[in-house]
Every structure is written in C-alpha cells, then in structure tokens.
C-alpha cells in the first residue's frame, strides 16, 4: 500500500516515525510538502509574500496524481484550516480515503470527522493505528472492523474506540524516516531533530499534554524513554551521513531522569555534536546541569510563561515558581549553557503590571533569548474549559477555537481582544532587544517605564532577532536562516 503524507512549513518527527513503521512493514510512503514561506506557521508572517508564493494548488495536484491508497494529515490547531482546505480540494477530484491525526484531531475527533472530506481520525499515538488501517484496507476502502485509536464514520454515525496502551518499548520502533523531509529540503539535516522519549510528567492547563493525560488516563506513567544506547545508535550514523551542525532533542522534559542522563552523557561523547534541549526547572539541579555541559549541550529552553506565581498556580496549573526558574538560569549560566525562555503574553487576568514584573525578572536573570508568544487556546487543554466555565469565553468562541479559526500563528498573530492587549506588544520588542543592549540600559528602560512603550512591528521583530543572533553567534538562528533561503523541492 502507498500512504501520502501532506504537511507544511516544518519537519515533523511524528510523520517520520509513522513513515518508518510503514516502510518497515513493506509499505510505501511519500510526502507532499509545502514550505509555506512567510505563512507564520514556522517563520515570519508576511501575507503578501505568502499569497504570491502559495503552493496549495501544486500540493493538491501532487496528491491527486500520487496514486496513493491513503492520504494523511497531521493537524495542529494552527494548520487545521489549511489542512481542511487542501483535503477538500483533493476530495473533489479523487475518492482516496483521507485521514487526520495530530493534537487537534485528537482533541476534537467528532468535530473533525463532521467534515465530509475526512474519513477517519487517528487519536493519540498513531503508529499501531496507521499500520492496522493500511493493512486492513480492501478495494480502496478503510477497514470495517473497529481499530483502537481510530474514529470513523459508520452508516452515517461517528464512532470512536479507546486508545491502545502507550508504546512502552520505544527502542522497538524503527528509526524515523528522515529522508521523507530531507529529500524536500536538504537543509533540514543541518539541525538533526531527535526525540529520546515521549510524554510529559506535568499537566499544565495551557498545553496539549493535559489533553493526552486525560486521553490516556488509564496509564500511571506518561513518560517513556528510549535507552541511551538506542538514541546514540541513531545519531552516530546520522552524523556520518548528514554531517549536522547541531542536534535538537524535542523531549518535553529532557532531564527528567537523572540516571538516564548520566548514561546518556557518557555515550553522547561519541556523537560529539553540539545539542540543545527543552526541560523544566524542577528537573534541573547542579549535577544534571554539569552532565548537560560535559556532554555538549549549548542551550537549554525553559517554559517560563509567566513570572507571576499566582497566575502559574491558579490559571496554568504549572508546577514550580519564578524563584526556581531564576535558580535554574543561574546554574546553567555558571556552566556556560545559554538559556532560551518561552514567555506568554495575553494570559487571562494578566496585563501591563505582570509584563513589568517579567521585564524586571529578565533584566535580573539575563537569559540569552526570550521567545515571547501570544496565548493560544488549544482544544482539549484544561484552560479552555476553565475560561468557558468562568464565563470569559462564549460557546461561540470555544466552537471557533475548536474549528481552528484565527489560530494562524503562536508568534505573529494579532492579540484577540482589542486595545488592552495591543498595548502589550511593546513588551515583545523589549524582550527581543534585551540580548543586544547592556543590562544597565535594559534596567534603565524598565525603571523609567519605557519597556512597554517601544515601537512594535512584526518585521522589526525579525530584524531585531537577526541582529541578536549575529551578536550572540546563535547556532539555531543560523539554521533558521539556512532554511529560509535553502533550496526547496515542493511539493
């Protein structure tokens, strides 16, 4: 059987793993890929350039002529409308079954299946479900029998099945099919994306992981790790074949298991490629930071979201505190590891006062990069229901969010509720310029109430980010620029 994946903007490890599993079982896979330049999905949102470079028609033509037995999309909230449009245009021309998976489809499978162009939804981990679907197809039709993790239309009704248990032995999975994406944009290989584990121990209300915790409520432990040996066995041949300049670990909390990290740090010396990772401040102490530094970690990214402990506890249900983040940043700096912070603007019940607190905190702690994002409500995340029950979101607004409307970007989307949030945009400019100016200047801006009065424009943000990356010799931003100007084969 042949499965065609359709995706846009970025490399996707989940699709690569699905392709690897299907290939190992003897099936054929292909990718129709839209670089989506300047769409806001992966880089700056510049609507004029996006419109003139739109490849949707080419993507549809490629899918129609592919001869695929199944066409599959991985749907995030920010790309759901794009995926719906492409799927609808494909369905008008060919009857090929179309399957949606990914976080958005997992959160609201019934709503997704209400669209006539979608035949099935895979929820949660998709490897076993996709293989069952492909191997159960007969005469171009999806299997009739129920399949765990799969929602379908049966005699005009939508039916779903509970998910199968988590894949516990991640070492048993075939390696991800990197060529699926590297054949489209070879420059992807300069930053080798890898995952050493799946799942997050935390259930933050704003994150899709809260939805996965609910979906897999029968599981006691949501975190699973590959063995360090298995990770390194993937990376050593990858280094020889692709010669990556950096490696990025996409685990939710890379440092959660201290013993695992000790063994990894020993083995990774053979790979010897600088790497970065995500983690949580509660999973950092001096021993773990030293292991990161000794094994070649050059940057750690931490989700701060807000410096207000009250907001963190009441609204985000997020473990930790600003004090714990400050200690983690200090430890990382002492061992020569740069720090990237994720900071969220537009949180309910927060305004200028909380951004002033954040500006003061960042002046004091000096992270090398502050990635400021606007609050985006994800279907299935606890905060969405919380705000609806509190009367701050209407039923119509929740429906719109679940339909993916106006969710085109985390970073570049305009605030959704008018003048009050519009004023907060100046803080994004301040957070962007902090790496470029002396700490004393940044402190002066904060102390004189000017951090929230700086000019804002999306293109200005891009220019500032470029200058900061050059000033800091930022490896990841160099990779971002490579992708922006790299040779691309589409679709």
The secondary element (H helix, E strand) that includes residue 139 is none
Q: What is the pLDDT of residue 50?
A: 58
- Is residue 490 situated within a structural domain? no
Q: Within this chain, do residues 126 and 273 fall inside the same structural domain, yes or no?
A: no
Together in a domain, 31 and 76: yes
3-class state of residue 73 by DSSP = strand
| Domain span including residue 145 | 2-160
At 486 the pLDDT is: 58
Q: Is 434 a member of any domain? A: yes
| pLDDT tens-digit readout, 116-135 | 999 999 999 999 999 999 99
CATH of the domain at 8: 3.40.50.2300
Q: Residue 131 to residues 67, 98, 140, 198: CA-CA distances in angstroms? A: 19, 15, 15, 20
Residues 352 and 470 grouped into a single domain: yes
Sign of the alpha-carbon dihedral angle for 223, 226, 228, 234? negative
409-418: buried (b, 16+ CB within 10 Å) or exposed (e) per residue?
bbbbbebeee
Question: What's this model's pTM, rounded to 2 decimal places?
Answer: 0.91
The CATH number that applies at residue 220 is: 3.80.30.20
**How confident is the model over 417-458, as pLDDT tens digits?**
444 556 788 898 899 888 788 899 999 999 998 998 888 877
Which strands form 150-154's sheet, in the order they lie side by side? Answer: 28-34, 2-8, 70-74, 98-101, 120-122, 150-154, 157-160
- Are residues 219 and 91 part of one domain? no
Q: What is the pLDDT of residue 437?
A: 86
CA 84 from centroid of its chain's CA atoms:
19
Same domain, 96 and 208: no
Q: Is residue 35 assigned to a domain?
A: yes
* Domain boundary pick from 114, 143, 160: 160
- Count of the separate structural domains present in the chain: 2
Claim to verify: residue 112 and residue 256 sit in the same structural domain: no
Instruction: Answer yes or no: is 366 within a domain.
Output: yes
Does residue 152 sit in the same domain as residue 198?
A: no
Residues 104 and 224 in one domain: no
pLDDT of residue 114: 94
Length of the chain: 491
Taking the CB of residue 362, how many other CB atoms lie within 10 A of it? Answer: 23
Q: What is the pLDDT of residue 92?
A: 95
Same domain, 135 and 191: no
Regions of the chain where pLDDT drops below 50: 408-419
With H, G, I as helix, E, B as strand and everything else as coil, classify residue 270: coil
| Residue 175 forms part of a structural domain | no
CB 226 within 8 A of CB 197: yes
Whether residue 170 lies inside any domain: the answer is no
What are the percentages of helix, strand and coil residues in the chain, rounded to 5? 45, 15, 40
Domain termination residue (choose one: 160, 176, 209):
160
* Helices 13-24, 127-136: crossing angle, 10 deg rounding: 40
Residue 345 and residue 428 in contact, taking contact as beta carbons nearer than 8 Å = yes
Regarding whether 477 and 368 lie in a shared domain, the answer is yes
At 411 the pLDDT is 45
Asked if residue 389 belongs to a domain, the reply is no
* Cα–Cα–Cα angle for 319, 293, 222, rounded to 5 degrees: 35
Task: Print burial letters for 419-429: b (CB count within 10 Å at least 16), e (below 16).
Answer: eebebbbbbbb
Kindly state whether residue 76 falls inside one of the protein's structural domains: yes
Residue by residue, DSSP assigns 211-229 as HHHHHTTT-S---EE--HH
| Helix ranges (DSSP H) in 226-381 | 228-242, 258-268, 286-295, 309-311, 322-334, 352-365
CB 55 within 8 A of CB 34: yes
Based on the domain organization, do 313 and 435 belong to the same domain?
Answer: yes
Which residues lie below 8 Å from residue 23, measured CB to CB, with a gap of 6+?
29, 174, 177
To which H or E segment does residue 105 belong? helix 103-107
Asked if residue 365 and residue 251 are part of one domain, the reply reads yes
Measuring CA to CA, how many Å separate 126 from each of 81, 133, 134? 21, 10, 12
């Amino acid at each position: 059987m042949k499965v065609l994946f359709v995706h846009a903007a970025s490399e996707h490890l989940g699709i690569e793993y699905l392709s690897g599993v299907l290939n190992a079982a003897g099936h054929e896979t292909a990718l129709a890929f839209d670089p989506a330049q300047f769409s806001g999905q992966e880089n700056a949102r510049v609507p004029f350039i996006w419109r003139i470079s739109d490849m949707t028609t080419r993507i549809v033509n490629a899918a129609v002529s592919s001869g695929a037995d199944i066409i599959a999309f991985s749907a995030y909230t920010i790309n759901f409308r794009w995926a719906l449009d492409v799927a609808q245009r494909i369905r008008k021309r060919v009857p090929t079954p179309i399957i949606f998976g990914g976080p958005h489809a997992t959160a609201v499978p019934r709503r997704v299946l209400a669209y006539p162009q979608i035949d099935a939804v895979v929820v949660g981990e998709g490897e076993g479900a996709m293989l069952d679907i492909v191997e159960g197809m007969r005469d171009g039709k999806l299997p009739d029998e129920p399949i765990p993790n799969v929602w379908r239309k049966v005699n005009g009704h939508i039916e779903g099945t509970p998910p199968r248990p988590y894949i516990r032995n991640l070492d048993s999975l075939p390696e991800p099919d990197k060529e699926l994406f590297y054949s489209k944009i070879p420059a992807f290989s300069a930053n080798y994306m890898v995952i050493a584990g799946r799942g997050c121990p935390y259930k933050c209300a704003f994150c899709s992981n809260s939805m996965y915790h609910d979906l897999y409520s029968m599981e006691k432990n949501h975190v699973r790790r590959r063995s360090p040996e298995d990770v390194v066995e993937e990376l050593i041949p990858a280094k020889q074949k692709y010669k990556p300049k950096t490696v990025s670990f996409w685990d939710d909390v890379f440092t959660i298991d201290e013993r695992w990290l000790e063994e990894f740090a020993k083995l990774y010396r053979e790979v010897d490629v600088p790497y970065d990772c995500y983690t949580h401040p509660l999973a950092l102490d001096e021993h773990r930071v030293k292991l990161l530094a000794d094994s070649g970690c050059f940057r750690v990214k931490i989700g701060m979201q807000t410096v207000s402990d009250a907001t963190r506890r009441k609204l985000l249900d997020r473990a930790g505190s600003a004090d714990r983040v400050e200690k983690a940043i200090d430890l990382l700096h002492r061992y020569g590891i740069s720090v990237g912070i994720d900071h969220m603007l537009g949180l309910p019940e927060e305004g200028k006062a909380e951004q002033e607190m954040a500006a003061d905190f960042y002046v004091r702690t000096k992270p090398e990069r502050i990635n400021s994002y606007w609050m985006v409500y994800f279907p299935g995340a606890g905060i969405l229901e919380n705000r609806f029950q509190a009367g701050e979101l209407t039923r119509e607004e929740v429906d719109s969010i679940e339909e993916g409307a106006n969710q085109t970007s985390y970073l570049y989307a305009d605030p959704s509720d008018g003048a009050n949030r519009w004023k907060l945009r100046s803080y994004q400019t301040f957070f962007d310029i902090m790496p470029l100016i002396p700490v004393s200047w940044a402190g002066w801006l904060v102390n004189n109430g000017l951090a929230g009065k700086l000019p804002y424009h999306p293109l200005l943000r891009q220019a500032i980010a470029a200058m900061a990356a050059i000033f800091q010799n930022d490896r990841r931003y160099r990779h971002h620029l490579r992708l922006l100007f790299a040779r691309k084969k589409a679709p």
